[in-house]
Structure 1
Amino acid sequence: MLKTEHLSFRYSQQSWIVHDLNLSLERGEVVGLTGPSGLGKTTIGKLLAGYLQPTQGKVTCDGQPLPNKGYCPVHLIFQNPELAVNPRWQINKILAEGQPPSADLLASLGIHQSWLSRYPHELSGGELQRIAVARSLNSHTRYLIADEMTAMLDANTQALIWQVVIKYAKEHEVGILVISHEAPLLKRLCNRTIDLSTLIYQNTALK
């Protein structure tokens, strides 16, 4: 289980971006996270994946703290894949950064062998997002945080990527948190959806 307990975060003495958040995600479960802009959805994703350290509270993965070094079992895929790759590396080196994906996985994502010798700037946004997804889907990843992962892509590429990701998650019991504003997407993909605005209201009412 990926779990937060009384999770809070802010920069210095500024207002809380995330405050007293409790949520959980089981292996193999697909959960949506939605809510208006500015409520901290992306910050929550970064906290869950270890990109940010909580100001208060904690994040645990299968009962253990997130590792300080090495491969994190919680992997975050951003909306803009160019921010998550080294622009000086060829695609084959980017894919080899963790556990190299199988030929079958590359084929299912429509990744051509000719792409592997290119650099990130030589691929389109949709092509580069497929690379980011392929890099994340490996045996070390237990939970996937998809932060508006396909929001900037055309409908066909969106459908392809989600079909592959959901199939892989079911076969390997990977838990997925889908962060999105798109209600139809969340309804189609998720077992349940957390509305962050409602959660914040409930937490405030309990104080």
Structure 2
Amino acid sequence: MPSIINDECADFLPNLKSGLADKFTESQASKEYKEKDAAFAAKIKNQNLGPKIWHDSFNRPDGRLQLYVANEGLAIPYVSPMLAESLCDLPPLLLTAGDDERLRDEIIYFAHKSAEPTKYKGPSYNAGKFEKSPFQTPTNTTLEIYEEMPHDFQLLMEHVCTTKSYERMVEFINRVTNILNEPLPPLPPSSYNYINVKGEFGPLKERHEKVLNWDKIGIVPS
């Protein structure tokens, strides 16, 4: 995915073959990690999963793209939920993001894909898979983007947006779980909201909706 910082992709690891990386002896822990990583990649390749589930751009003989999983595992839905064939039939979702965090765009697309699955189906190489999925009922999804807030802003600062976000979380949990055992109205329809620094709600901005036009989801830039 492109980073929100600029129009260049900055969300995968560069290929480091020189510089400081060559000046240190590899640790035993690093060697063991690479061995386990290679075994995991081989296990994925050998499983009979039917059609290939990842894009050819994931095949990088010169190294892995992310620290947390082998390239072959990036398209597994538990690793990259947005690449799943369907995000339907999930429990109600409350998705919260800061407007200045790197994961913002992915969260926006995730929200739309879960709430409007026939319109936002994800990677082009997954074409036809949603129609075959047993999960077809749209998920009730509430998206909230908080103005000027960074990643995990609720843990980092005292702010009107922090207070509002906590209030919304409590309200959502009470409504979904009915932990207070009180009669509650049904959940409102799915919605996509932008909350300014005063805690006021409004629709998403035009810049947020640009992500919905992505045509290369799940494809690593060359």
- TM-score, normalisation: structure 1: 0.27
Please say which structure displays the higher CA radius of gyration: 2
Which structure shows the bigger proportion of residues in strand conformation? 1
Larger RCO of the pair (alpha carbons < 8 Å, separation 6+): 1
Structure 2 length as normaliser, TM-score? 0.26
